[in-house]
Chains A and B, each alone.
Chain A
Amino acid sequence: MKGSEVRVENADKKFGDFHALKSVSLTIKKGEFFSLLGPSGCGKTTLLRIIAGFEEPTAGMVYLDDVDVIPLPADKRHTNTVFQNYALFPHLSVFENIAFPLRLKKVPFEQIKEKVTRYLQLVHLVGQENKKPNQLSGGQKQRVAIARALINEPSVLLLDEPLSALDAKLRHQLLMDLDLIHDEIGITFIYVTHDQSEALSVSDRIAVMNEGRVLQIGTPFEIYEAPADTFVAKFIGETNILDGIITAHNGRFYTIETDQLGPIMVTSDRKFEVGKKVRHAIRPEKIDITKEKPEGLPDDFNILHGKVSESIYSGFQSQFYVATDQKLPFKVYQQHESYLERGPAIRWQDEVFLNWDADDGYIVELI
C-alpha cells in the first residue's frame, strides 16, 4: 500500500466563539476510501483542512503514519487536496496546472511532459492540455484538479466536496471515476461530503459528523442498517421513527408499546430491559404496502391501516405518505418491479395496509 494511515486524536477547533470541532478522534487506515459525512457546519471541512495543514487545531494531534504533522505547513505534508471550487490557476493551461507541483520542484521538462501525459490519461483529458480553465466544463475542471492533486504522488488525497458543484449525472460519473482511480493508485482517500448517497456508494468506511462531533464510524452497511443514534438514522436515508416503552422481551424479540400505534414487534441483538423507553426506526423501503389486508402473515409481522395522503411516482419506485388511522404520517417506498399497465395500483386517497417483519425494524437507542 502506498497510502498513509491518518490518525486524529482529540482534535479540537474553535473559531472565536464557534466550536467547530469537539475533541474528534479517528483512525483512517492505509489505502482506505474514507468519507466524512455530515450537514454543513458539522466540522467535516474543518477536520479536512486540519489534516491538509490549512488550519491548526486548537488542541489535539494529527499523525500521518505515526509522524506528528501539526508542525508541518501544508506544502511539507504528503497530502494533496481537491477543492470544492476546483481552485485551478486561471492563468495556466490545463497542462501547466497539472505540471505546477513538478515545475516547483524544477523537474526536467521531458519528465514533466511524460508524467503529465500519464495523469491526463488517468482523468481522460488528453487533447485538452492547452486549454485554459475557463474553456473547460465543470466536470473537466474537477478532473484537472484531481490530476493536479495526484501528480505529486501524495500518500493521502483529501477531497473537499469535490462534486457538489456538478449536476447529478456528471456527479455520478465522476464518483465512479474516483472510485476507479482509488482502486488503481491505492492511496488513502478522505472524502468530505454532505451527500449520503455519494458517501454510501464509494466509501470503505464513513464517519458521520454533526455539530463538531463524530457520531458513528462504520461501513456504509453498518451506518445504514445499524445507525448509532437518531441523528444518524434520520440523516442517512429516510426513516420512520417510533418511540415507545419495552413491555415484553423474548430472546431477540421485543414488544414496544408505542405512544401512538400500540404494540409493535422488533428484533434486536442488543439487550434492552423491559420498562425502558426506546426509539425504534423502520426504513420506508422495508415496509410493504397493499390494498387488501394481508392474510397469513407470521405473528412477528406488524400491520397498520391508513390512507394515502401523498403519492409521488418517480419511475423506478413510488413514494407514499400514509396517514395511519392514528393520524401518524408514515413514509413507504414501493419498487416497481414489473410493467405497470394502468399506472401504479395504489393511488392518492386509497385505503391501504402497511406491514413489515419485526426483523426489519431497528432499535436505535435508549431515550
Chain B
Amino acid sequence: MSGNTDSRVGTTYSLPLTLWISLFFVVPMAIVFLYSFLTRDVGGGVRWEFNLDAYAAIFKQTSSGQFIYLDILWYTLWMAVAATVLTILVALPCAYYIARTKNNTLLLFLVIIPFWVNFMIRIYAWVAILGQSGILNEGLMALGLIKEPVQFLFNDYAVLLVLVYTNLPFAILPLFTTIEKFDFGLLEAARDLGATHMGSLRKVMLPNIQGGIITAVLFTFIPIFGTFAVPDVMGDSNTYMLGQLITSKLKMTGDYPGASSLSVLILILTAGGLILYTAFQRKQEKDKMVTIAEDAL
C-alpha cells in the first residue's frame, strides 16, 4: 500500500525534471542525431534525404593525404587529456586541503567565486594578464628581466592554462565531496597492517576516492573536449579544436549535417569510453572473487 503511494509520489516529484530533460536534452540530441544523416542544403539548411556524406567527410583526405578532421580530432583529444590531467593534478591537493580544514566555508566560497563573473570575461582577463601589454609583460620589463614583450598568448600552453583555470572548480568540488567523506582512520589501519605512508594513500585512499576522481574527470574532460571559446581566444589561429570546427560549420558555412556528425562523434567517443571503463571495472571486480572450497574446512 504505502509502497504504491510512495512510487506515485516519486513519479509526481520527478515529473518536472523528466519533462525538462526530455525537452532540452533528449529532443535536441535526437535532432542532432537526425541531422547528421540528412543532406546539406545550399541555403544553410537541410534537405530531408538520407545521406552519409557528413560521416564520410570526417575521413576525407586532402590531395596530399592528410586527414584534416581526424588530425583535429587527434589534437583535440590530446589537448583535452592534457588539460584534464593538469586540472586533476592541481585540484587533488587543493580539494584534500579544503576537506582537511575544519572551517572550510571560506575556502569553498573562494572556489565558487569565479562563477560570479561571466565566462568570457574570465577568459579575456587572461588576455589582460598575458597580452603584449599585459600585467605579466609589464612586470617582467619593469624588473628588467626582459627587454621586449614576450608573446605568451596564442599557443597551446595559453590554451591549456586557461582550460585548467576555467575547469578547476568542476574538479575541486566533486573531489572535495568524496575526500571529505573518506574515513582517514582507514589510513591508520593500513599503516598498522604494514603499509608505508605512500602505500596507504595509493592502496586505500585512492580507490576510495575513485568515484570523485571519475566525476571530476568527466566534469572536466567532456566540456574541454567540446570547448571552442578558450582556444578561439587564447589559441593559435592555425590550430583548431573540434568545438571550434563545429562552431565554424554552424556559423560560417551553415553545414548542419557536418556539425551534427562531429557532435555525434564526440558523443560516441565519450560515451564509448565510459562504457568500456565500467565494463573493465566490472570484470576486475569479478576476477577478484575467490572460491573457498568446502573441503578446505
Binding site for B on A (CB under 8 A): 52-54, 73-75, 79-81, 83, 85, 87, 89-91, 93, 95-96, 100-101, 104-105, 113-114, 117, 120-121, 126-127, 129-130, 148-149, 152
| Apart from the given pairs A87-B188, A89-B190, A130-B290, 13 other A-B contacts in the complex at a CB distance below 8 Å | A52-B192, A54-B188, A54-B191, A75-B193, A75-B195, A75-B196, A83-B185, A91-B207, A95-B290, A104-B194, A113-B292, A126-B292, A129-B290
A87 lies within 8 A of B185 (CB): yes
Please tell me if B236 contacts chain A, counting CB pairs below 8 Å.
no
Assembly CA distance A264 to B37 (angstroms): 105
Assembly CA distance A14 to B55 (angstroms): 71
B193 lies within 8 A of A121 (CB): no
State whether A85 and B185 are in contact (beta carbons under 8 Å apart), knowing that A96-B288, A129-B290 are contacts in the complex. yes
Please tell me if B186 contacts chain A, counting CB pairs below 8 Å.
yes
Binding site for A on B (CB under 8 A): 183, 185-186, 188-196, 199, 203-204, 207-208, 210, 288-290, 292, 296-297
State whether A100 and B297 are in contact (beta carbons under 8 Å apart), knowing that A89-B204, A117-B292, A129-B290 are contacts in the complex. no
Chain A residues, Cβ within 8 Å of B289: 93, 130
CB < 8 Å: which of A83, A104, A113, A114 contacts B189? A83
CB distance from B37 to the nearest CB of A (A): 43
Shortest beta-carbon contacts, A-B, top 4: A87-B189, A101-B193, A91-B207, A74-B191
Chain B residues, Cβ within 8 Å of A100: 190, 193, 203
Chain B residues, Cβ within 8 Å of A126: 292, 297
Assembly CA distance A117 to B294 (angstroms): 11
Interface of B (DSSP majority class): helix
Chain B residues, Cβ within 8 Å of A113: 290, 292
B208 lies within 8 A of A90 (CB): yes
Assembly CA distance A91 to B202 (angstroms): 13
B186 lies within 8 A of A89 (CB): yes
B191 lies within 8 A of A80 (CB): no
CB < 8 Å: which of B194, B203, B210 contacts A152? B194
Assembly CA distance A265 to B188 (angstroms): 54
CB distance from A87 to the nearest CB of B (A): 4
* Smallest CB gap from B208: residue in A: A91
Assembly CA distance A113 to B189 (angstroms): 21
Chain B residues, Cβ within 8 Å of A87: 183, 185-186, 188-189
Chain B residues, Cβ within 8 Å of A79: 192
CB distance from A137 to the nearest CB of B (A): 19
Chain B residues, Cβ within 8 Å of A74: 188, 191-192
21 contacts between A and B (CB under 8 A): A53-B191, A54-B192, A74-B188, A75-B191, A75-B193, A75-B196, A87-B189, A89-B189, A89-B207, A93-B289, A93-B290, A104-B193, A104-B195, A104-B199, A104-B203, A113-B290, A117-B296, A120-B292, A127-B292, A130-B290, A149-B193
CB distance from B284 to the nearest CB of A (A): 11
B192 lies within 8 A of A80 (CB): yes
Chain B residues, Cβ within 8 Å of A129: 290, 292
Assembly CA distance A113 to B191 (angstroms): 22
CB distance from A120 to the nearest CB of B (A): 7
Assembly CA distance A89 to B207 (angstroms): 10
* Smallest CB gap from A145: residue in B: B189
Chain A residues, Cβ within 8 Å of B194: 75, 101, 104-105, 152
CB distance from B201 to the nearest CB of A (A): 13
Chain B residues, Cβ within 8 Å of A101: 193-194
Assembly CA distance A96 to B284 (angstroms): 13
Assembly CA distance A75 to B194 (angstroms): 4
Chain A residues, Cβ within 8 Å of B186: 87, 89-90
CB distance from A102 to the nearest CB of B (A): 9
A152 lies within 8 A of B185 (CB): no
* Smallest CB gap from A86: residue in B: B189
State whether A152 and B193 are in contact (beta carbons under 8 Å apart), knowing that A83-B185, A87-B188, A91-B208 are contacts in the complex. yes
Assembly CA distance A95 to B193 (angstroms): 15
Assembly CA distance A318 to B196 (angstroms): 55
Assembly CA distance A113 to B292 (angstroms): 8
Chain A residues, Cβ within 8 Å of B183: 85, 87
CB distance from B28 to the nearest CB of A (A): 37
A148 lies within 8 A of B297 (CB): no
Chain B residues, Cβ within 8 Å of A91: 207-208, 210
Chain A residues, Cβ within 8 Å of B207: 89, 91
Chain A residues, Cβ within 8 Å of B208: 89-91
Chain B residues, Cβ within 8 Å of A95: 290
Chain B residues, Cβ within 8 Å of A120: 292
CB distance from B222 to the nearest CB of A (A): 25
Q: Which of B188, B195, B292 has the most CB of A within 10 A?
A: B292
Assembly CA distance A91 to B182 (angstroms): 12
